Structure 1
Amino acid sequence: MARGNTRQRIQDVALELFAEQGYEKTSLREIAERLDVTKAALYYHFKTKEDILIGIFQDLTRPMDELIEWAGTQPRTLETKQEILRRYQRALLAATPLFRFMQENQATVSQLSIGLTFKERMITLTGLVQEPDFTTTDKVRSISAIFTLHAGTFFMQNVEGDPEEKHEAVLEVALDLIGQAHRA
């Protein structure tokens, strides 16, 4: 198996185990057993559980970094902000397993080096969808648009309905919020 595929399998299995029994209670030995590989084979790719988690985090946050970089080169228009929201929703949907882990393991995540960098990314992203001259209410609308996508990605799974329709509805609400902030 190619190295990239093995790394991906390790990360996927580790995230499954972290979700099932918690980060703290999962050992490298258990990850190796679930993968049916030796601990040495696992060590070749990752030395610690934190290395695995950081690898997962980097892979799944790359789209967020690319979005921030792209948005920084665009005009600060309503259309740009709407496109930021669309792209961010796609990134969130792709990273759902990681964000679910982060939500369920906040104490662990806050102790790891990834916690702070995620907070910094969120601050940057929310800054890209608001303007300095926005009223406080419009700043709240702009930030709420981002968090509407978060809530919609993670909490709408408990709401009846077609997943695609729910994603579209969540995006529509986020776009409404950013539109209202711009019209004020």
Structure 2
Amino acid sequence: MGTRSGTKAKIQDVALELFGEQGYDKTSLREIAERLGVTKAALYYHFKTKEEIITSLLQETGDKLQEVADWMSDKEPTLANRQELLRRYSAAVADTGRHFKLMRLMQENQPALRELAAGMKGHERAKLFFEFMTGPDASLADQLRARLAVMVQHMGIFALQETGASEEDRKAAALEVGMDLIG
């Protein structure tokens, strides 16, 4: 199956496919192994449970976003720095196929995955991003614009899928709209 990290990525991708097709609860490790064409023991070498697979995916995204938060930590919230934050955020979620599947999985399987997501600090980090993007005296409308600027980095690429535009062009359009929203 290739290198260890390549194998882990393949397992993650196949698991996301199956979770999307059948739901998280209805997918077994055996089915993941079968789709991969490996034994369950080979799969266990990398992941012992479905929870470990999801946690590893959440951790990858969390690590990328933590790098953005670390960059932001000693910056003043000037317009130029808010724009740079949005650029970095957009790049951190750029693995659009996998990221979108993971976000959809989390949304569609909230009861089963709530505990896993709770420990990933996503809400706290998002709050820091939003506060940096708006400042303490921001109007409600400006707070909404900041949230939408971030959210469009996740959803804009998929909202434009049927246009036939390339993924890079759709990502650029999402970033442009986000930039417009923050000023």
TM-score by length of 1: 0.85
4+ residue stretches of structure 1 with deviation over 6 A?
none
Deviation (angstroms), 1:14: 0.9
Match of 2:180 in 1: 176
1:109 to 94, 106, 113: 113
SS, match of residue 93 in structure 1: coil
Q: Percent identity?
A: 46
CA distance in 2, matches of 1:61, 1:96: 14
- Asked if structure 2 preserves the Cα contact closer than 8 Å seen for 1:96 and 1:153, the reply is no
Q: How many residues align?
A: 177
Aligned pairs for 1:82-97 within 5 A = 82-94=83-95, 95-97=99-101
Determine which of 155, 159, 162 is the counterpart of 2:159: 155
Contact 2:18 2:27 (C-alpha < 8 Å) held by counterparts: yes
8 Å Cα contact 1:32-1:39 kept in structure 2:
yes
Kept after mapping to 1: 8 A contact 2:68/2:88: yes
Comparing 122-131 with 76-85, greater Cα deviation is found at 122-131
Instruction: Give 2:176's aligned amino acid.
Output: E
Structure 1 SS opposite 2:147: helix
Counterpart of 1:127? 131
Alpha-carbon contact 2:100-2:154 (below 8 Å) kept:
no
**Offset at residue 162 of structure 1 (A):** 1.1
Please provide the CA RMSD for this pair: 1.9
Work out whether residues 149 and 170 of structure 1, in 8 Å CA contact, stay in contact via their aligned partners in 2. yes
Q: Could you tell me the TM-score, scaled by structure 2's length?
A: 0.85
Aligned-partner Cα distance in 1 for 2:157–2:113: 20
The structure-2 alpha-carbon separation of the partners of 1:125 and 1:109, relative to structure 1 and needing over 3 Å to count, comes to farther
